[in-house]
Amino acid sequence: MQKRDANGLTEQEFLAAYRPGDYVRPSVACDMVIFTVTDTETSSYRKNPDKELRVLLIERGGHPCLGEWALPGGFVNPNENTEHAAKRELKEEAGVENIYLEQLYTFSDPNRDPRTWVMSCSYMALVDSANLRIQAGDDADKAAWFQLSFKQGYDDSTEFLGGVRRIRRYALELTSDDTRLSAIVEHSRVISKNCSEEDFRIVENNGLAFDHAKILTYALLRLQGKLDYSGIVMHLMPELFTLSELQRVYEVILGKTLLKAAFRRKIAPLVTETEQFTQNAGHRPSRLYKVNWQGIR
Amino acid sequence: MQKRDANGLTEQEFLAAYRPGDYVRPSVACDMVIFTVTDTETSSYRKNPDKELRVLLIERGGHPCLGEWALPGGFVNPNENTEHAAKRELKEEAGVENIYLEQLYTFSDPNRDPRTWVMSCSYMALVDSANLRIQAGDDADKAAWFQLSFKQGYDDSTEFLGGVRRIRRYALELTSDDTRLSAIVEHSRVISKNCSEEDFRIVENNGLAFDHAKILTYALLRLQGKLDYSGIVMHLMPELFTLSELQRVYEVILGKTLLKAAFRRKIAPLVTETEQFTQNAGHRPSRLYKVNWQGIR
DNA sequence: AGAATAGTGTCTTTTAGACACTATAGT
DNA sequence: ACTATAGTGTCTAAAAGACACTATTCT
């Protein structure tokens, strides 16, 4: 291409002479919401264990937010894109590779980090807990898998001239062996012709670093929203699983129970039956299935 | 809070002493995909005009990509977040305010801009064309609304051990009064247990700047994907509209025709009927509706 | 009158919800 | 035998698809 600009330069000449300005640039970090699903302890030899949703957090060893728990993450390096950075962090901080990864949202409020201007490009990752052979946080940082409870509380729509404002509050509770964290995040949305605002606000926060309660809420809503039309859950399942297990995973993420017959009809195209069965369960054995990746959208 | 870190500093002391490192930081820009819907010329006084989807592009007056057409956008300033930047750009470059705005995706490949390291946080905006009283591009830059044709071509799934690779190609054609642009973008997705890769690749590009063909494709897929479960289309409609008009907007975005009766059943909760009717149409008048914002999800 | 669209009725098909019933290993 | 779950059958209700029919205004 030999086009010349207003100064008579070709593109090659322009780029050779180009010097980036010295205006202020943000740092860009990747923060990762890594979900997995684990079994609870079961009380009786007969009872199947319940499923619980867990997320990986890391205790901050320095200011700011010293002693609070943060999503694993780190800065994006030059010569890599955010996805590379996310994968690198995933390996370094959680010891996992080759798992489901999806970009969520870029959080960019200028004061979200008290040190300096840091944007966070957030990612959601899903891991089968059987895949977690490497214990998270081998290094100095203290890492832990927190069990997550996510409940919608306050919910209100107020109408105004030509529009609606919808406010919902979500209560997050996170528990690990020795730590309990909690947060309340308010999601408000103005829906009208002349305005379109969506906002997450941290109403209450006990022990979560930065704006990570927001990011976590965003991730949970995305996960819930994707559940029924995409086969995203399959990334949380082990190689072989029973349909009841799969149903319990859906249930723990959605926070409600589902009807067995309807559930099975719906997920039928997403799974393939095997000839293997569970054993020693204290009740009728259950057929084991594997994921039918063709059926996943 | 009086916690002290490993150096015996409180958070206040730490922050007061904090100096950001001088490692390389990216520039962050917002690029905007601004959609609107317009009427085509109608051949006969009887025939209703068709709808067409349009997107705003700006011809680049300098290197790089001199003479090519780019999405409107600009850098994010310190003390604003990406959404503020997007709104500012929307006003400056397209002369519109208070319209629907949604963050799409952050494109961050290190070489996407030949000058320097620039990440693009992309947004999608929807405007009712009646709202465009201010002609876009009053200033030096040449701006134009391009009519968009978006067709899926090649589509293939190849199975491999324990997974699927799905490849789809999309053909974009953009036409304004005096310019024709086109691009082919390939979307490939690997869906399997041990891998999760999603990638957009520009296969062919005639006249679109940077990686903007990618961003545009991403926006179109998002718009299509959101159509049926959210009332997002309503942001493209004027104050009063007929149900046939609304249907034609759905049809032009989805690229397929819909059945009238079923369509009306489905969108019924999203609209409110008025007592006004179209006039001088050369055929039976049509009732005018307005948006029922309560019904929008 | 007749072109072109507006608007509705209704039949069929598909999907979802509800719930009861039968089946079966393990102690 | 009994517990706890596995798995299926079937009825009902709701939603989607298909298509034909009637209604209405302007030239």
**pLDDT tens, position by position, A46-93:** 899 999 999 999 999 988 999 999 999 999 999 999 999 999 999 988
- Among A214-218, B68-72, B127-131, B292-296, which is the least confidently predicted range? B127-131
pLDDT of residue A135 exceeding 60, the answer is no
| Residue corresponding to tokens 């003390």 | B79
In this predicted structure, the answer to whether residue B152 has a pLDDT above a threshold of 90 is yes
Q: Which nucleotides of C are covered by protein (CB under 7 A)?
A: 3-10, 16-20, 23-27
Position B150 scores a pLDDT of 96
Tell me how far apart the alpha carbons of residues B291 and B197 are, in angstroms, rounded to a whole number: 39
| Pairwise CB contact (< 8 Å): B79 & A110 | yes
Nearest in space to A93 (alpha carbons), one of A60, A128, A50: A60
Burial of A46 (0-12, 13-18, 19+ CB in 10 A): exposed
- Phi/psi-derived region of residue A85, left when phi > 0, alpha when psi is between -120 and 50, beta in every other case: alpha
Confidence of residue B45 (pLDDT cuts 50, 70, 90): confident
Decide if A14 and B192 are in contact by the 8 Å CB cutoff. Answer: no
Query: Which residues are registered as beta bridge partners of B70?
Result: B58
With a pLDDT cut of 90, the percent of chain A lying above it is 72
Q: Which residues of A touch B106 (CB under 8 A)?
A: 82, 103, 106, 121
Q: What is the pLDDT of residues A231-267, one digit of tens each?
A: 999 999 999 999 999 999 999 999 999 999 999 999 9
Q: Does B162 touch chain A (CB under 8 A)?
A: yes
Closest residue (CA) to C1' of nucleotide C26 is A282
Mean pLDDT of B268-274: 96
- Interface probe for B, chosen from A119, A236, A296 (most Cβ of B below 10 Å), is A119
| pLDDT band per the 50, 70, 90 thresholds, residue B238 | very high
A198 to chain B, closest Cα gap in Å: 9
User: What is the rounded (10 degree) CA torsion for B125, B129, B132, B135?
Assistant: 100
In this predicted structure, the answer to whether residue A125 has a pLDDT above a threshold of 60 is yes
CA distance B224 to B217: 11
pLDDT of residue A76: 96
User: Helix or strand or coil: residue B91?
Assistant: helix
Q: Please give the pLDDT value at position A282.
A: 87
**Mean pLDDT, residues A264-282:** 94
Nearest CA in chain A to B112: A81
Q: How far is the CA of A244 from the C1' of C20 (A)?
A: 19
Distance (Å) from CA B261 to C1' C12?
Answer: 15
Q: Please tell me the predicted confidence (pLDDT) of residue B197.
A: 84
R_g of chain B, CA atoms, integer Å: 23
Amino acid A267 CA to nucleotide C20 C1' distance, rounded Å: 22
Q: What would the pLDDT profile of B108-125 be if each residue is shown by its tens digit?
A: 999 999 999 999 999 999
**Residue whose token pair is 């086009």:** A3
* Contact, A114 CB vs strand D, < 7 Å: no
* Predicted pLDDT of residue A261: 97
Q: Is the pLDDT of residue A4 over 70?
A: yes
According to DSSP, residue A77 is labeled P
The mean pLDDT value for B221-234 works out to 93
Count helices and strands in chain A by DSSP H and E runs: 5, 13
For residue B27, give the amino acid letter: S
What's the mean pLDDT when you consider all of chain A? 92
Tokens 């959601």, located at residue: A124
pLDDT band at B139 (very low <50, low <70, confident <90, very high): low
User: What is the reported pLDDT for B135?
Assistant: 57
The nucleotide whose C1' lies nearest the CA of B261 is: C8
- In the structure, how far is the CA atom of residue A177 from the C1' atom of nucleotide D12, in angstroms? 47
Instruction: Note the pLDDT of residue B232.
Output: 95
Flag whether pLDDT at A133 surpasses 70: no
Q: B189 and chain A: CB distance < 8 Å anywhere?
A: no
- Reported as a pLDDT band with limits 50, 70 and 90, residue B214 is very high
Q: How far is the CA of B263 from the C1' of C14 (A)?
A: 17
Give the model's pLDDT for residue B196: 79
Which one is predicted more confidently, A9 or B104? Answer: B104
Residue B43 has pLDDT above 80, yes or no: no
Inter-chain residue contact A81 with B109, CB threshold 8 Å: yes
The whole-angstrom distance between A44's CA and the closest CA on chain B is: 32
Beta strands in A48-162 (DSSP E): 51-59, 69-70, 73-75, 100-107, 118-128, 142-160
Q: Is the shortest CB-to-strand distance from A243 to strand D under 7 Å? A: yes
What percent of chain A lies above the pLDDT cut of 70? 97
- Answer yes or no: is pLDDT of B1 > 60: no
Give the chain B residue whose CA is nearest to the CA of A60. Answer: B5
> Would the pLDDT of A14 be above 70?
yes
For strand D, is any atom closer than 7 Å to the CB of A259?
A: no
pLDDT in tens, B52-108: 999 999 999 988 999 999 999 999 999 999 999 999 999 988 888 889 999 999 999
Contact B185, B154 (CB under 8 A): no
Q: Which of B131, B193, B235, B296 to mutate to test the interface with A (most CBs of A within 10 A)?
A: B193
pLDDT of res. B133:
60
